[in-house]
Homo-oligomer: A and B are copies of this chain.
């Protein structure tokens, strides 16, 4: 597979997993760091996400864990909570993952992530979530 094919695979996967939200991030990089946009498409999606050992649903559980723990990644959490829903996690599962994270990275990080989920769920008419 050459560089162009990897890029194409990445673009397709980005579209599939993140919908238009992913494309908007890449677009907004166009005039400041097109190379970062390219690396996200080609590498993060075309190389890494495309690997077969873990299905998208499992990848999103790991990603939710990482982003919640990092903190300060609310924009990326928004993208990846949407992605989590897109690949088959239910709102209740997303919320439970963020609650579970509290044991390991504390209540504040879990709270911040949960309020991002609330925003995403509100936009999609998925509230209330019962837990």
In the complex, what residues of B have CB within 8 A of residue A58's CB? Answer: 58, 61, 93, 97
* Chain B residues within an 8 Å CB radius of A129: 31-33
Distance in angstroms between the alpha carbons of A62 and B25 in the assembled complex: 24
A54 and B96 CA atoms in complex are apart in Å by 7
Interface string of A26-39 (1 = CB under 8 A from B): 00111111111001
Copies of this protein in the assembly total: 6
Contacts of A110 in B (CB 8 A): 36
- Contact status of A34 and B2, CB under 8 A, knowing A58-B93, A64-B65, A112-B73: no
The reply to whether B28 and A115 contact each other, CB–CB distance below 8 Å, is yes
A48 to B, closest residue via Cβ: B103
A106 to B77 alpha-carbon distance, docked (Å): 14
Which of chain B's residues have a CB closer than 8 A to the CB of A51?
35, 96, 99-100
A contact set with B: CB distance below 8 Å: 1-3, 6, 25, 28-36, 39-40, 43-44, 47-49, 51, 53-54, 58-59, 61-73, 75-76, 92-93, 95-112, 114-115, 117-118, 121, 127-131
